[in-house]
Amino acid sequence: MAAATTLNDLFIHALSDVYSAEKQLTKALPKLARAATNPDLAAAFKTHLEETQGQIDRIDQVVELSAIKLKRVKCVAMEGLVEEGQEQIEEIEKGPILDAALIAAAQKVEHYEIATYGTLAALAKKLGYNDGMKL
């Protein structure tokens, strides 16, 4: 990350980072759905994929409304979470134990997203990006 010298720099970096995270999730969630043996869990991953695509659309709207240019960054936090989920798929036999591991992986992703979007909302409010806050 280039050194952020303003709150706006920090906001743009954080928004760019979460955009990368959401893009990575769109590739990972179908794999999690295929690995799940419980039909409800597989359906939950498919629903999360739809929500993730909606988040990407909302970020695109924030960028457009705020005339922000996203940076080309890769979210290393999400990369690690996705990699951990992939390792579990490769190492644990399909069944209830893998399903439990997939649930744990999904919870980690959700907690990351909650923290990230909370930070973005606080920065957006401080910077006066009121239109983006409504999304």
Domain ranges of the chain: 7-134
pLDDT above 60: residue 25? yes
- State the CB neighbour count (10 A cutoff) for residue 111: 11
Pick the CATH number of 7-134 from 1.20.1250.20, 3.40.630.10, 3.40.50.970, 1.20.1260.10: 1.20.1260.10
Share of the chain above pLDDT 90, in %: 84
For residue range 86-110, list pLDDT tens digits in order.
999 999 999 999 999 999 999 999 9
Q: Is the torsion defined by CA of 9, 13, 14, 19 positive or negative?
A: positive
pLDDT above 90: residue 26? yes
**Would you give the end-to-end CA distance of the chain in angstroms?**
26
